[in-house]
Amino acid sequence: MADTKVDAGPRAANSSLARLVALAGLPAAAADSVEIVGGGPVFPTRYNIVPPGAAVIAATGLAAADLWKLKTGRQQRVRVSGHAAAAALRSSRYLKINGEKPAEDPEKITGFYPLRDGRWMYLHCNFFNLRDRNVGVLGVPAKRDAVTPAVAKWDGIELENAIFAAGGACGFVRSEEEWRALPQMQTVARLPLLEIIKIGEAPPRPLPDGDRPLSGVRVLDLTRVLAGPTCARTLAEHGADVLRVTREDLADMGMTDFDTGIGKLCTHIDLRNPAEAETMRGLIRTCDVFSQSYRPGALAHHGLSPEALAEQRPGIVYVTLSAWGHEGVWRERRGYDTVVQSANGMAYRPNNARPAFLPVSAQDYVAGYLLAYGAMVALGRRVREGGSWLVRASLAGAGHFIRQHGLFDPAEYENLPAELSADELQSLLMQHDSPIGRLTHLAPVVQMSETPARWARPAVPRGFNQPVWPERE
The pLDDT value given to residue 1 = 40
The pLDDT value given to residue 244 = 97
Sketch the domain layout of the chain as residue ranges. Answer: 10-103+192-330+356-448, 111-185+335-352
Q: Are the beta carbons of 209 and 388 closer than 8 angstroms? A: no
* pTM attached to this predicted model: 0.96
Spatial CA neighbour of 448 closest among 125, 69, 178: 69
Spatial CA neighbour of 78 closest among 93, 92, 88, 63: 63
Helix axes 144-151, 128-138, angle to 10 degrees: 50
In the chain, what's the furthest Cα-to-Cα distance? 65
Alpha-carbon span 274 to 279, nearest angstrom: 9
The pLDDT value given to residue 36 = 97
The pLDDT value given to residue 224 = 87
Within 327-453, strands assigned E span 388-394, 429-434, 437-442, 447-448
Q: Are the beta carbons of 68 and 51 closer than 8 angstroms? A: no
Alpha-carbon span 146 to 125, nearest angstrom: 14
Assess whether pLDDT exceeds 80 at residue 333: yes
pLDDT band at 2 (very low <50, low <70, confident <90, very high): very low
Assess whether pLDDT exceeds 80 at residue 473: no
Inter-CA distances, 127 with 136, 168, 253, 254, Å: 14, 10, 8, 11
| Pairing of the two strands 317-322 and 289-292 | parallel
- What are the pLDDT digits (tens) for 288-326? 999 999 877 778 888 899 999 999 999 999 999 999 999
Domain 10-103+192-330+356-448 fold:
Rossmann fold (3.40.50)
Pick the residue with more confidence: 406 or 39? Answer: 406
- What are the pLDDT digits (tens) for 183-219? 999 999 999 999 999 999 999 999 999 999 999 999 9
The pLDDT value given to residue 256 = 81
Name the average pLDDT for the chain. Answer: 94
Assess whether pLDDT exceeds 70 at residue 3: no
